[in-house]
A = this chain, B = another copy of it.
Amino acid sequence: MDELDSAIVRHLQEDARQSNRDIARKVGIAPSTCLERTRLLRERGVIRGYHADIDLPSLNRGVQAIVSAQVRPLSRVVIDAFQRSLGELPEVMSVFVTAGSDDFLIHVSVRDIDHLHAFLADRLAVRKEVVGFRSSIIFRHIHRTVLEPLPDNGKSPGPR
């Protein structure tokens, strides 16, 4: 994972469908070398996949929310079962299992507010392991598509 690999990864985060030749030219190596590097990054699990980013309103998902939920008992079987059942609901885009005052943060997208209400009432509130939940409508969601590697020797950044 040297500087060259980082550059390749950066370009693939920006646009995963640009040609291998373009990336090779941008980072200053031969296409065959670039292809081999990319293959190794994939093989090592550094690159986990390539995915299209889709406009949510176009999928009838114009309303987003974060739902925080508490479940009891907080045992492994309950957590795993709850997580798995969330994964089967089409409205659920992403699930965070967290420490702190909430056990789950669920990122959902639905057609409209009515469907959000229906999701909460029919899918969440009915489960007996769910002892409480709270939802926050999302006004905006900014997602950074290209993540740089953080320095690994460095002390914490510190003030200023």
- A residues contacting B by CB (< 8 A) are 1, 9, 12-17, 44-56, 58-61, 66, 83, 87, 90-102, 105, 109-111, 114-115, 117-119, 122-123, 126, 134-152, 154, 156-159
Contacts and interface: CB of A to CB of B under 8 A. Distances in A.
Contacts of A123: 157
How many monomers of this chain does the complex have? 2
A158 to B, nearest CB: 6
Describe A's contact surface by its main secondary structure: mixed
A97 to B, nearest CB: 4
A50 B53 contact: yes
Contact of A51 (B92, B94, B97, B145): B145
A56 B58 CA distance: 29
B142 A87 contact: yes
A122 B83 CA distance: 34
Given A46-B54, A55-B45, A96 B141 contact: yes
A49 B146 CA distance: 12
